[in-house]
Structure 1
Amino acid sequence: MLLGPPESPTVENLHDARTWLENVEGKQALEWVKAKNAEALELLGDPVHQPVYSHILSILESKEKIPYIGRVFKTPEGESHYYNYWQDHVHVKGIWRRCTLDEYRQPSPKWETVLDLDALGKEEGVTWVWGGSTPLDEGPGVPTDRAIIKLSRGGSDAKEAREFDLLKKRFVPASEGGFVLPEAKSSLGYKDRDTLLVGGSFFGKDALTDSGYPRTVREWKRGTALSSAVQVYEGLSSDVAVHGYFYLDRGHTYEIRMRAITFYTNCYEVKIGREGTFAPVKVPADSQLGTFADQALITLRSAWHGFAAGSLLAAPAAKFLALSVAGADDPAVKALLFPLFEPTATCSLEGTSETFSYLILQILDNVRSELRFWKYDAALGRWSLTQSFRGDGFASISASGVKADSSDDIWMTSSSYIQPTTYSLASAHAPAKQEPLKALPTMYDASGCTVEQFKAVSADGTEVPYFLVRPKALQLDGSTPTLLYGYGGFEISLTPSYEAAVGKAWLEKGYAYCQANIRGGGEYGPSWHQAALKEKRNKAYEDFEAVAKDLIQRGVTRPEKLGIQGGSNGGLLMGNMLVRSPELFGAIVCQVPLLDMKRYNKLLAGASWMGEYGNPDVPEEWAYLQKYSPYHTLRAGARAPPTLFTTSTRDDRVHPGHARKMVGKMVDLRLPGLAYENIEGGHGGAADNKQRAFMSTLAWSFLQKTIVTSALAPSLGARTNVDGGRRFDPLAKLRDFRGLPKWAVPVLGAAALCVAVLAERRRIG
Structure 2
Amino acid sequence: MRGGKLLLTALAMSAALSGTAAAQVPDGSDDPFFWLEQTEGERVDAWVAEQNGYSLGVLQGDPRYQPLHDQALAILEARDRIAVPGFNRDGTIDNFWQDQTSVRGVWRRTTLESYLSDQPQWRTILDFDALARAENANWVYKGATCQTPNDDICLISLSDGGKDAVTIREFDASTGRFVEGGFVLPESKGGATWLSNDELLVYRDFGEGSLSTSGYPLVVKRLRRGQSLDQAVEIYRGQPDDLAASAYTLRDPDGRLRAVIVERTIAYYNSERFVLTPEGLKPFALPRDAEVQALLGDRLIVRLLSDWAMPSGDSFRQGDLVAVDLDAFIADPATARGELVLRPGARDSIQDVTTTRNQLLVSLYENVRGSIYVLRPEGATEAGWTRTRLPLPENVSVGLGSTSETTDQLFVNVTGYLTPPTLYLADAAAAQTQVAKTSPERFSAEGLTVEQFQARSADGTMVPYFVVHRADMPLNGATPTLLYGYGGFQNALLPGYSATVGKLWLERGGAYVVANIRGGGEFGPAWHQAALRQNRQRTHEDFIAVAEDLIARQITSPRRLGMMGGSQGGLLVGAVLTQRPELFNAAVIQVPLFDMLRYTQIGAGASWRGEYGDPAIPEQRAWIEEYSPYQRLQAGQPYPEVFIHTSTKDDRVHPSHGRKAAARLDQLGYPVLYYENTDGGHAAGANLRETARRMALEYTYLTRRLMD
TM-score when scaled to structure 2? 0.93
Seen in structure 2, the aligned counterparts of structure 1 residues 293 and 453 have a Cα distance that, compared at 3 Å, is same
- Separation in 1 of the partners of 2:241 and 2:110? 45
Letter in 1 for 2:617: V
- Mapped pair 1:200 → 2:204: yes
Rate the CA distance shift 1:151–1:4 in 2: closer, same or farther, 3 A. Answer: closer
1:498 alignment partner, SS class: coil
Asked whether the equivalents of residues 604 and 653 of structure 1 are also in contact (C-alpha less than 8 Å), the reply is yes
Query: C-alpha distance in 2, partners of 1:277/1:225?
Result: 23
Gaps of 5+ in 1: 75-79, 710-765
| 3-state secondary structure, aligned to 2:263 | strand
Structure 1 pair 252–147 and aligned structure 2 pair: CA distance change class (3 A): closer
**Offset, 1:9:** 4.1
- Counterpart of 1:102 in structure 2 is 113
The structure having more radius of gyration, on CA atoms, is 1
- 1:213 is aligned to 2:216: yes
> Letter of the aligned partner of 1:170 in structure 2?
R
What is the CA distance between 1:473 and its match in structure 2? 0.6
**Cα distance change on mapping 1:71 and 1:601 into 2, 3 Å:** farther
Alignment partner, residue 291 of structure 2: 288
Paired residues for 1:585-596 under 5 Å:
585-596=584-595
What SS is found at the alignment partner of 1:50?
helix
Distance 1:7 1:241 in 2: 32
Q: Give the direction of change, closer, same or farther, for the CA distance of 1:439–1:459 in structure 2 (3 Å limit).
A: same
Match of 1:149 among 130, 141, 156: 156
The code of the aligned residue for 1:565 comes to M
SS of 2:215's partner is coil
Counterpart among 182, 188, 191 of residue 187 in structure 1: 191
Alpha-carbon deviation of 1:384? 4.3
Cα distance in 1, alignment partners of residues 229 and 490 from structure 2: 37
- 2:368–2:494 Cα contact (<8 Å) kept: yes
Measured in 2, the distance between the counterparts of 1:391 and 1:587 equals 38
Q: In structure 2, do the counterparts of structure 1 residues 318 and 7 end up closer, same or farther at CA, with 3 Å as the change threshold?
A: closer
Equivalent runs, 1:555-566 vs 2, <5 Å:
555-566=554-565
Corresponding residue of 1:255: 260
Change (3 A) 1:5 1:401: closer
Contact 1:252-1:293 at 8 Å conserved across structures: no
- Given that 1:5 and 1:635 are in contact with CA atoms closer than 8 Å, whether structure 2 keeps it comes out as no
Partner of 1:17: 32
Gaps of 5+ in 2: 1-14, 310-314
Distance 1:633 1:383, change over 3 A: closer
- Paired residues for 1:477-492 under 5 Å: 477-492=476-491
Superimposed CA distance per residue, residues 305-353 of structure 1 (whole angstroms, 9 cap, x where no aligned partner): 24221111112122223332xxx3xxx55xx111112132111211211
Report deviation, 1:558. Answer: 0.2
C-alpha contact 1:354 1:401 (8 A) present in aligned 2: no
Moved more, 564-573 or 25-34: 25-34
**In 2 relative to 1, CA 7–212 (structure 1 residues): closer, same or farther, beyond 3 Å?**
closer
How far 1:387 moved relative to its partner? 0.7
User: Match for 2:50: what amino acid?
Assistant: A
Deviating more after overlay: 466-475 vs 421-430: 421-430
Cα distance in 2 between the residues matched to 1:390 and 1:561: 41
Cα separation, 1, equivalents of 2:488 and 2:208: 30
Indicate the larger mover: 648-657 or 3-12. Answer: 3-12
Q: Which amino acid aligns with 2:327?
A: A
Distance 2:195 2:389 in 1: 37
Q: Does the CA-based 8 Å contact 2:110-2:121 persist in structure 1?
A: yes
Once the two structures are TM-superposed, the CA of residue 593 in structure 1 deviates from its matched residue by 0.1
Structure 1 segment 343-354 matched on structure 2, within 5 A: 343-354=344-355
Residue matched to 1:467: 466
The 5 Å alignment of 1:130-169 reads 130-138=141-149, 143-169=150-176
Q: Given that residues 369 and 390 in structure 1 are in contact (C-alpha distance below 8 angstroms), is that contact kept between their aligned partners in structure 2?
A: no
Distance 1:677 1:401 in 2: 35
The DSSP-based 3-state class of the residue aligned with 2:643 is strand
Native 8 Å contact 1:377 1:383 kept in 2: no
Q: Which amino acid aligns with 1:270?
A: V
Tell me if the contact between 2:360 and 2:374 (Cα under 8 Å) persists in the aligned partners: yes
Aligned mates of 1:602, 1:467 — CA distance in 2: 36
Deviations 1:214-273 (A, max 9, x none): 11110111012121001011111111111122342245611111101101111011247x
Structure 2 residue matching 1:528: 3-state secondary structure = helix
- Please give the alpha-carbon distance, in whole angstroms, between the structure 2 residues aligned to 1:7 and 1:197: 46
**Preserved contact between residue 274 and residue 283 of structure 2 (Cα < 8 Å):** yes
| Root mean square deviation of aligned Cα | 2.0
Q: Deviations over 1:174-200 (max 9, x none)?
A: 3xxx00111110220110011011011
In the TM superposition, residue 81 of structure 1 has moved relative to its aligned partner by 2.5
In the other structure, the counterpart of 2:237 is: 234
1:77-131: CA deviation from partner (whole Å, max 9, x where unpaired): xxx3211000000011111011111111221212111101111111111111011
AA partner of residue 297 (structure 2): A
1:7 positional shift: 6.1
| 1:676 and 2:675 are equivalent in the alignment | yes
Aligned residues: 679
SS at match of 2:417: coil
Which residue does 1:419 correspond to in 2?
419
**C-alpha distance in structure 1 between counterparts of 2:401 and 2:376, whole Å:** 15
Aligned to 1:279: 282
Identity %: 40
Q: 1:41 aligns with which of 36, 42, 56?
A: 56
SS at match of 2:411: strand
Residue type at the aligned position of 2:134: E
